[in-house]
Every structure is written in structure tokens, then in C-alpha cells.
Homo-oligomer: A and B are copies of this chain.
Amino acid sequence: MKYLMGIDIGGTNIVCGLVDLEGNLVGTIKFATDRHKAKEAIIDQITVKINELLLQEQIGMDNVIAVGVGTPGIVDPIKGISILSGNLHWKDVPLAHWLSEQVHKPVFIDNDVRMYIYGEAMAGRGQGYDHVFGLTIGTGIASASVNKGVLYYGGGYLAGEFGHIPMDGIEEPCHCGLIGCLETIVSATGIARQAKQAIDRGQESILQKWVVDRSYITALDVSKAFDLKDELAINVMNDTGKMLGKALSHVVPLMSPDIIIIGGGVAAAGNRLMIPMRDELQRRLHPMYWDRLVIKPAQHIEFAGVLGSALYAKSRL
């Protein structure tokens, strides 16, 4: 039996997954990304872990036909180069070539969010839909679209920076240098920051009892406070969900997706965000869009990137 290897490189963890040709996940291995290491050392480490995973699953390297890698930032998938990743401090890294020299297999790379949404489109929630628009909400927020099984890249492979749409009503400077980018609100960091700033403005919250230094408040803390009916946390989640709904109301008339898939760590906030998001989006869409639109959380929250990378490598063979 033949297999694919999918690798999802994140700022915090790297996940390797063995995937069969039908898109079923056979086994995985996860390890911390050591961002202080040289890029060559990270690639050596990935090679070691690929071999560890194969040993664990008792599959020989001969049975692996291709390796796919999703990596953060701007990627040239044709040349196999990671052009720029602020998170990993990478610039013009010929990742596909280097890894291919180590594992002696064809290696194909692409942006991590595109790989995640490709995984959901081909082997997850997007199956059966022609036009898939997907988001991953984590530290930041980004998007990808898959139309009839084909990823959309845009000029310079730069499509999908949904987090850097400047939104009215946001005054916050973004790390990218612009003001009011969507991801300053709709992201784990955005949720935590809103809570912290509300406390700075003198609002009461249970969060003050939980976290002594408010700069350590996390989005998960805000979710927990929401569940205890904490007013500050409810407002933050409402504002965040509404802002996401507003941003999506700019996407739908333009692209008319059949399904919007919401993945990434913050998707775990579930209805705390999804209810205000849906309310705002419905209010802003013509019924001809709203009535046919499906909105779903991702199916393979943790492993969509690995699945997508593996299936993408298969599509490139």
C-alpha cells in the first residue's frame, strides 16, 4: 500500500502525518518548533521525525510516494520556496529542495492556511461543495479558497490575507504597519487584547481574579469567563463575532462561496463567536446569498493542515 506524508509547520508546533491515498490519517507525530534553531536544523529535525513516524506505523519509506508541507507566510509553491515567514524568521528558503534531498522523495510546499483549507475542502467539511471559502483563526486570521478542487492563489501567491482587510470602526495599529486590520480584533490575540483594554478602561470582570497580570489574559480565559456570564467577556465575544460577520459580508457577494469553513484554534470558541457572526452576516446579505450559504466549523481542527499537505502533494505528482 502507498502513502503520502503531510507536514504542518507552525510557529509553535510541527505536525507530521502519514496519510493513505484516500485521504485517511494513519498516524501522526507532533513536536515543538524550535524557532531559535537554524532553518537547516529544523529540516533535519523534520527528517528525523518522519523516520520516527514511519517506524511507529511500521511503514517503510519505500511506500511513501510524496511529501507535502504547509508552512506559514508567503510561499512560492511552484519554485518550492518559502519567500517570507515573519514567524520563523525565514526569507527565500528553498524548503522543498532541501527536504527532498534529505528524504529522497518529491516534496511540494505551500502556505499553511491554503493547506489547511485544502484538507477541509478535499477530505473534510468541504466535500461535495464546489466553492469553498475557509478561514483559520488563531494568533491571526487568514483565508483560502478552493474552487472545484483547485486552490486559488492570486497574483504573487498573495491571495488570502483576510486578516489584513482594514475595517471601519477599528483604531488599533496592526503589526503589519496598517491601522484597523481585521485580525487586530478577530484572532486569539485580538480577543485577549480587547479584554485587557476593557479592564484598563475600568470595566469589572472575573478575569481580574483569574489573572494577576492582565497582559497574560488569553482568548481561552475570555471563553471561560463568557460561560460564567461575565459581562466583559460576553461583550468581547459579541464584538468579535459581529466584526467577523461584517468582514464576511464583503466576501460573499464578491465570491459567492457555497460553504464557509471556520478552522484554527479560535474556532473552538464555537457559538460564542458563531452566533453574533451569523446574526451580523445575515443582516448584511441579500437572501439570495444567505439562503444558500452553509457555514460550518472545520472537521479536522488539529490535522486539516497535515491532510491538506499530503493530498496537495498527491495532486502535484
A residues lining the B interface (CB < 8 Å): 129-131, 143, 147, 152-162, 164-166, 168-169, 176-178, 246-247, 249-251, 253-258, 284-286, 288-289, 292
* Residues in chain B near residue A130, CB distance under 8 A: 155
CB pair A257 B154 closer than 8 Å: yes
CB <8 Å contact, B250 and A158 = no
The 10 closest A-B pairs by CB, nearest first: A154-B256, A168-B168, A161-B253, A155-B258, A158-B256, A159-B256, A250-B250, A131-B155, A166-B284, A155-B256
Q: Given A154-B131, A249-B165, are A159 and B286 also a contact pair (CB < 8 Å)?
A: no
Which of A160, A166, A257: most chain B Cβ within 10 A?
A166
* A255 x B288 contact (CB < 8 A): no
Question: Min CB distance, A141 to chain B, in Å?
Answer: 11
Distance between Cα atoms of A49 and B314 in the complex (Å): 53
Q: What 19 new A-B contacts, CB under 8 Å, besides A143-B254, A159-B255, A162-B254? A: A131-B154, A131-B155, A152-B255, A154-B255, A155-B292, A156-B288, A156-B292, A158-B253, A158-B256, A158-B289, A161-B253, A161-B256, A161-B286, A168-B168, A168-B246, A176-B286, A177-B286, A250-B250, A254-B255
Whether B254 pairs with A178 at a CB distance below 8 angstroms is no
Residue in chain B with minimal CB distance to A288? B158
A sample of 30 cross-chain residue pairs with beta-carbon separation below 8 angstroms, ordered by A number, consists of A130-B155, A143-B254, A154-B257, A155-B258, A156-B256, A156-B288, A157-B256, A158-B253, A158-B256, A158-B289, A160-B253, A160-B254, A160-B256, A161-B253, A161-B254, A161-B286, A162-B254, A165-B250, A165-B253, A165-B254, A166-B249, A166-B284, A168-B169, A168-B246, A176-B286, A178-B284, A178-B286, A250-B250, A251-B254, A255-B255
